[in-house]
Structure 1
Amino acid sequence: MSHRSQNNVAKVGVRLTTFGLLCLGASPAFAHIGAHDAIGLRAGFAHPFSGLDHLLAMIAVGIWAAQMKGNAKWVLPLTFPLIMVAGAVPGFMGVDLPGFEIGIATSVTVLGVLIACAVRVPTRLAAALVAAFAVVHGYAHGAELPRQAAAGFYGAGFIVATALLHLIGLSASAFGNSRLASNALRLLGGGIAACGVYLMAGAV
């Protein structure tokens, strides 16, 4: 990788990290909402960052999309948050979904393996798999909605956070197509899969 490319990657990483920290630390100021809504937005945004399972899965979706290339680079990062919202509804309504913790841990493991093996499948199949994982993640978001929070703002918060994590994963494509970059991503995928196995053991 050229020195210029390395600088560009570093700048992207710094900007994304700075944006995330600002969003977490700032007190949102909206003209027509109160503290109740602000708590909802902030709590929703912070939630994906509060658990290793959500964090790794959402970054992994972006990384896998970057590996898949083509339409997958925008289809997968759009599919996950859209289906996640649908999955949040039953969680918010208190519908019981047994084993959703194992489902979330499984999503981390499977996505890590897909990255480690650099698996490429038709975009529709990849989107269907990502959608299935999004349902359980969305359910967890909905079930863990703080009682004092506004559902709409909470949902908006975790959607923005999810998109940011997907972008962080997608930034992996900025490292180029060299064998070194490819091997580094595959090694990262192996680490994600190992974390998923650890999470699965804790969920059983």
Structure 2
Amino acid sequence: MRLSIVRILSSSVFLLASGVALAHPSHEHSSSFMAGFDHPIGGVDHLLAMLAIGLWAASLGGRALWAIPTAFVMTMLAGGAFAVAGFSVPFVEQGIVLSVIVLGALVLFAKRLPVMACVVIAASFALFHGVAHGMEMPLNADGLHYALGFAAATVALHLMGVGLGLLATPLMTRIGGSVIAVMGLLLVVA
């Protein structure tokens, strides 16, 4: 089991670094996908929330291991579609920063909630992340490829969080949650 987790983590690292391998970034579909892929990785707020989702899911185990990340990705895609369609969601940036703080705290305090409650929490925060991705889509980007890009990056970050959560001791996972929550608090004052 640990060997497969190491393989998943190393594959995720190579996937995240694959953007430098594009020989012709001016092609619309490649650049649209990579623009979407880079967005969750390039923003520390998105990156921390995605890792926290994976850590939280790993700490809960069972159905939560797949249900929480899946709900996040699906709702994030819906949020992106809402933004592209012109719908407005208030307090997007505040919701994203709050997601970092709350998700980090849930990992820190090893809070055990029913899986459905966890799914609702994850989906609620995912809406803000998706709207932000949709609002920041480049005007010349292909929407489908852009969405696939930010969804792929999110899945990779979730997998990294899950892998780290499964490999780490409960104490190390909780420390990771505290670092994420504190970083979220720093984002408030930044």
Per the normalisation by structure 1, the TM-score is 0.86
Does residue 93 in structure 1 map to residue 85 in structure 2? Answer: yes
State percent identity of aligned pairs: 35
Indicate the structure (1 or 2) with the bigger Cα radius of gyration.
Answer: 1
- 2:174 equivalent among 180, 186, 198: 186
- SS of the aligned residue for 1:146 comes to coil
Q: CA deviation at 1:20?
A: 1.5
Does residue 27 in structure 1 map to residue 22 in structure 2? Answer: yes
In structure 2, how many angstroms separate the alpha carbons of the residues matched to 1:10 and 1:75? 22
- In the alignment, structure 2 segments of 5+ residues that lack a partner are none
Q: CA deviation at 1:9?
A: 5.9
Does residue 18 in structure 1 map to residue 18 in structure 2? Answer: no
- SS of the aligned residue for 2:164 comes to helix
In structure 1, how many angstroms separate the alpha carbons of the residues matched to 2:40 and 2:178? 21
- In the alignment, structure 1 segments of 5+ residues that lack a partner are none
- SS of the aligned residue for 2:49 comes to helix
How many residue pairs align between the two structures?
Answer: 189
In structure 2, how many angstroms separate the alpha carbons of the residues matched to 1:56 and 1:93? 27
Cross-structure match for 1:141: 133
- CA distance change for structure 1 residues 12 and 87 in 2, over 3 Å: closer, same or farther? closer
- CA distance change for structure 1 residues 64 and 149 in 2, over 3 Å: closer, same or farther? same
- SS of the aligned residue for 2:121 comes to helix
Q: CA deviation at 1:110?
A: 0.1
- CA distance change for structure 1 residues 166 and 197 in 2, over 3 Å: closer, same or farther? same
Cross-structure match for 2:97: 105
In structure 2, how many angstroms separate the alpha carbons of the residues matched to 1:74 and 1:10? 18
- The structure 1 segments of at least 4 consecutive aligned residues displaced by more than 4 Å after TM superposition are 7-12
